Amino acid sequence: MIQDFLPISKQDMERRGWEQCDFVYVIGDAYVDHSTFGHAIISRVLEDAGYKVGIISQPNWKNPASIQALGTPRLGFLVMGGNMDSMVNHYSVTKKRRKSDAFTPGGAMGKRPDYATTVYCNLIRQRYPHTPIIIGGIEASLRRLAHYDYWSDSLKRSILLDSQADLALYAMGEKSIVEVADALNSGIDIHDITFVNGTVYRTKSLDNVYDYQLLPSYEALLDDKRKYAESFYVQYCNTDPYIGKRLVEGYERQGFVVQNPAQEPLTQSEMDHIYGLPYQRTYHPSYEALGGVAAIEEVKFSLTSNRGCFGGCSFCALTFHQGRIMQTRSHESIVNEASQMIWDENFKGYIHDVGGPTANFRAPSCEKQLTKGVCPNKQCLFPTPCKNLKVDHKDYLSLLRKLRELPKVKKVFIRSGIRFDYLVADKDETFFRELVEHHVSGQLKVAPEHVADPVLEMMGKPGNHVYKKFLDKYKRLNEKMGKNQFVVPYLMSSHPGSTLQEAITLAEYLRDLGYMPEQVQDFYPTPSTISTAMYYTGLDPRTMKSVYVPTDPHEKAMQRALIQYRNPKNYMLVKEALEKADRQDLIGFEKHCLIRPAGAHKGGGYQGKKPIAGKATGGKGDKTGGKPTGKTGGKSTGKSAGKPTGKTTPEQKPAPKKGWAKAKPSKKVSVGRKPMKKSDTAPKK
């Protein structure tokens, strides 16, 4: 095996002595050969299986010839939109175009199209009408069946139909891609590859499909949002490889889309092998002159230790993509990677992260999951921890200790997030103690998301009393060790279930803490999450009960402004929100008031202390973006390191981004999507 980047040109192929690639991999990101990039993993896995893979990165979609750079592949094209959904990559939650793209050389925008997977596939079809096309990655995975698309505000068909691809791989795909490759290599027609787990295919007839559950047709979903909520929950309950059923979705003219059960989780030895493949651990050298690829900086000195998440947050798509069963690498595999990483000339002594979707999950939540699967209609941590939940940090703690002992390592941080409810459920305080002592430098980022229990219930998050318990313990341990460290909470506005009253409750909580977040995350409805289904239908798919959904941009602006009520730019929005919610008691000169009456002083009418000074410490990006983790999508992460800003509260500045603050108040305010009545389920013609 040649220890080098994979070919990106005919000249590269010639140097390897290749006349033809087995697969040509078309990707929406820059070519970064690192194990946190989905295209790097899949291409290296195929190479390890004996296949020749070439890379076409960010082709010019306006020029069909750009797709011909490596010639006709022997077995087929692979297509992936990028480590993020291309629409999340391009647009903020306010649907404004982002200014830079961390996955493109030099951060340039406009190097990939909207709905990149679909556009690339149609581009290929123009020049290669009969060559197999296989799609994968986060964009294909989360759009594999009919889905609500926030950017067009419509219910879209399966991406298989719009892209004209032959086969879709969902989830991580290492096992399924090799099975598909072997089938093609043995001479099986792409249209006959209907037997591979972790794939989705099209068929005109169900005569040869067995043991399946029929979902409502796409046309039925268009007519009745309630049916979409029901269909979505069936999909949600069938993401498990052990108990998940084969699902079929009908289309009036196109036949059927069939989703096979998920691929089985990787064993530890399989995961070790995949992460031990010869990645170059950086971007292709051709990008150097363009300024490099910024996304590598987030992960270059980080270590992936796990996959999957049994946390089950409603707004997270991990259940649909990586699944709820934890998969982990061995200590030896992780330490070996770290031992190579520390000799990089740019290594400064800091390992930025040891984790995955949730850092402190290192084993399945209970014994039965690896044989019987996860419970389809129960969660491990919500609303309270399951009685069968194993809470144990010993393995993770042991791993961190080994990494701390490596030469040249000054500090090991945890950036991918600590699940605080799992942490406080551990009766053994050893890990919590060492976390505070060794793995925090000023600030620890956690994600309570909100403080109002009605909203937390919709989010699938624990009640606020659990977060308070965590804060108390964190403060006690810091005081005991003589440390002055803070918690940085991720907070989210406008999630389904949040009225202006809940937004005000959050503002009052922040008032009592004595600080204002510099950045706030607004709920972003991305494909295939429970929260997005709520946003579209006004129903909680788990219970089919009506949910209040703030959809009006102006109300969302008010909810966001309430979290940053001390910002003078938000004064009119905050005042309008308080009046709208009949909370004029919070306008005045008393200590508990959020703002002063209009014109009370030159500064805009704000009550209380000044905002905390200092540099913003929150991570940027949406919940579906941020640091690449190999899952081709997932949580935004942000740093756990940083200097305290001199405030003595246990919490400090949170993260995410800009959005609604500039909206102007209007006289007429629509306050969200009302809960549906039975008569409201069908859209008006």
How confident is the model over 365-394, as pLDDT tens digits?
A: 998 887 888 898 888 999 999 999 999 999
Percent residues over pLDDT 70 in the chain: 87
DSSP H helical ranges for 277-393 = 295-299, 318-321, 331-341, 369-372
CA distance 193 to 197: 10
pLDDT tens track for 28-67: 999 999 999 999 999 999 999 999 999 999 999 999 999 9
Q: Provide φ and ψ at 180, rounded to 5°.
A: -65, -45
d(CA 140, CA 79): 9
DSSP letter, residue 208: T
pTM for the model: 0.87
Amino acid, res. 143: R
- Return d(Cα 281, Cα 287) in angstroms, integer: 14
- For residue 421, give the nearest of 453, 446, 387 by alpha carbon: 446
In the predicted structure, residue 280 carries a pLDDT above the cut 70: yes
Q: What is the three-class DSSP state of 25? A: strand
Among 275-289, 439-453, 570-584, name the one with the lowest average pLDDT.
439-453
- Domain annotation for the chain: domains and CATH numbers: 10-201 (3.40.50.280), 280-484+524-543 (3.80.30)
What pLDDT does 278 receive? Answer: 96
Measured CA to CA, the distance from residue 79 to residue 131 in angstroms comes to: 13
pLDDT at position 259 is 98
pLDDT of residue 674: 44
Residue 113, pLDDT > 90, answer: yes
The band of 607, judged by pLDDT with boundaries at 50, 70 and 90, is low
Q: For residue 515, what pLDDT is reported?
A: 72
Tokens of 35: 């194990």
DSSP H helical segments within 16-101, as ranges?
38-48, 86-90
Question: Binning pLDDT at 50, 70 and 90, where does residue 211 land?
Answer: very high
Q: Measured between alpha carbons, how far is 284 from 179 in angstroms, rounded to an integer?
A: 28
Residue 606 is given by DSSP the state: B
Report the distance separating Cα 540 and Cα 548, nearest Å: 10
Among 373, 394, 258, which residue's Cα sits nearest to residue 308? 373
